[in-house]
Structure 1
């Protein structure tokens, strides 16, 4: 799995128009909801404050600033009244600006995008945004099983592996987004040339075939990712279910043994099933690691 020297943490920021995925910090302006799990930080705008609530908060802050400033002056800070006034003015202005921002819906912020474009992906089409959100939901489903699998897989390393898999998914979806734009552009010009013997017609057909091949390729890679995450989630959930059943049967078998003269003996079928599910979990994570472990 991913080594500690190549630690991977994925940042996701979403608003109504854009989903930003990056290996460096991204966020949203204004009030934000932050959801952290494993090696993923998922940020989205919180509901904006009403104008009345924002104004009330700003008024309370300005009253507090005024009271503190007057108190400092009365306590012997009068010689510094000018400085105190400037500081109070700046804090009051900040309170007003904060109130204005609190009313506004947050938008995605990518402070390092220009400096490090290679570790950012922006998804702006509704189709790709929905697909990525589905991937996140699936990966988080896998993540919820990790604490119970700590004897089979290292949760922190598995968390990094899931972050890397999501990053790979974001790269493929950004690529699909670009291919979608090319296909749409070509489709708009299909009626511009109907002469099958013309060079323009042949070029258009060739480029459409290229775009279709790329579309099929990226869809195949995304399908592989979905399949691997689904396999890991289902294997983990089955293992947890079967372990709980095995523990229950062991307790009830012990209780029954105390109640009957000739107690049942031998391993239960649930124990054998649990062994099979253990192998399935290890296989699922081994395949995930082979595909996405150590990639950047």
Structure 2
């Protein structure tokens, strides 16, 4: 996939693509974070047809008045009327889409991935949540990481995860089909049964490999999130400890130690190593 990744989740599927997502119905808003663009479905507006007609009529009346004024002033009446009609049509279309359930269109290009099965959808949704946790730690990590490189690594990991989950989804269907013919009433030495058994073994092996690859990517993203969050918490605790030590020193008259608070060098290395692992995924 390209450097930019678009992802969207509706009630029936997950769509991941290097290109902007299109809507089959409803409205979604785009939220960009670095090279990741999430399309978030908006809830239906709940407006009935009567309410939409009323709103459009209220908009059309002043537009007709403005068109008449422009025509009386020597402006081309048909141009003003056409502009008003286009505006009314756009508003009406927007209202209709806003009243519908938001559903993403299925991309037709080969680079996009569509996840329909529940386990794969849940896995990618969890990865998106974990990637958000990772990105929220970046401001506090400062110079420990390069945000540009980290963003690219994280987006690439999500793209690779979508590909692996797409393969696993197809393998799930194949395994279900092969499981359906396992109890077929045919002789045990039948060439068809032997071929099906062989393909079932191959499907199981590839299934396990795809699962291991997905878990490795998910684990890398989660490890980066936990390492950053743990470092931030420990730094906050260290700051609290230093503040308490200075306060106690002032109150009790005991000088504060020059180097106080827990040593975070080990945690710093853990954060850096987590991002190295993520980049290697």
Common fold: TM-score over 0.5: yes
Judged with a 3 Å threshold, the aligned counterparts in structure 2 of structure 1 residues 7 and 256 are, in CA distance, closer, same or farther, namely farther
Q: Distance in 2 between matches of 1:225 and 1:92?
A: 49
Which of 256, 266, 273 does residue 276 from structure 1 map onto?
266
**CA apart distance, 1:140:** 1.1
2:81 & 2:175 partners in 1: Cα distance? 61
Distance 1:260 1:92, change over 3 A: closer
Q: In the TM superposition, what is the alpha-carbon distance from 1:99 to its structure 2 partner? A: 3.0
How far apart, CA to CA, are the structure 2 residues paired with 1:215 and 1:171?
A: 14
Q: How far, CA to CA, are the matches of 1:230 and 1:257 in structure 2?
A: 40
- Aligned-pair CA distance for 1:46: 1.0
Using structure 1 for the length normalisation, give the TM-score.
Answer: 0.85
Asked if the contact 2:64–2:81 (Cα under 8 Å) also holds between the matched residues in 1, the reply is no
Tell me how far apart the structure 2 counterparts of residues 264 and 99 of structure 1 sit (CA, whole Å): 65
Cα deviation, residue 153, structure 1: 0.4
Q: Decide whether the 8 Å contact of 2:175 with 2:203 is kept in 1.
A: yes
Corresponding residue number in structure 1 for 2:145: 153
Please name the residue that 1:105 is paired with: 101
Counterpart of 2:5?
10
Q: Name the CA distance, whole Å, in 2 between partners of 1:106 and 1:262.
A: 64
What displacement does 1:171 show? 0.5
Provide structure 1 residue ranges, at least 5 long, that are not aligned to the other structure. 1-5, 292-296
Q: 177-186 vs 100-109, which deviates more?
A: 100-109
**Structure 2 residue aligned with 1:74:** 72
Unpaired segments ≥5 residues, structure 2: none
Kindly indicate whether the alpha-carbon contact (under 8 Å) linking 2:14 and 2:121 is maintained by their aligned counterparts in 1. yes
Listed one character per residue, the Cα deviations across residues 63-121 of structure 1 (whole Å, up to 9, x for unaligned) are 232122122123232xx2233333333433333333332322222136xx44x422x11
1:206 matched residue in structure 2? 198
CA spacing shift, 1:17–1:72, aligned 2, 3 Å: same
Distance change in 2, residues 1:15/1:262 (3 Å): closer
Partner of 1:294: none
- Note the aligned Cα RMSD (angstroms): 2.2
Find out whether 1:84 has 2:80 as its counterpart. yes
- 1:286 corresponds to which residue? 276
> What does the per-residue CA deviation read over 1:16-70, in whole Å, with 9 as the maximum and x for residues that have no partner?
2222101221143442133333421111321222115433432233223212212
Deviation by residue 1:244-287 (Cα, 9 ceiling, x = unmatched) = 1112222222232233344353534x432x11111110110011
| 8 Å CA contact 1:235, 1:284 repeated in 2 | yes
Instruction: Work out whether 1:187 is the aligned partner of 2:179.
Output: yes
What CA distance in whole angstroms lies between the structure 2 residues aligned with 1:142 and 1:87? 47
Out of 201, 208, 233, the residue aligned to residue 216 of structure 1 is 208
- The whole-number CA distance in structure 2 between the counterparts of 1:33 and 1:83 is 33
Q: TM-score, normalised by structure 2?
A: 0.90
- Give 2:129's aligned residue: 137
* Distance of 1:168 and 1:100 partners within structure 2: 36
Separation in structure 2 between the aligned mates of residue 237 and residue 89 of structure 1, nearest angstrom: 54
- In structure 2, what is the Cα distance between the partners aligned to 1:88 and 1:227? 55
Q: Counterparts of 1:126 and 1:242 in 2: how far apart (Å)? A: 37
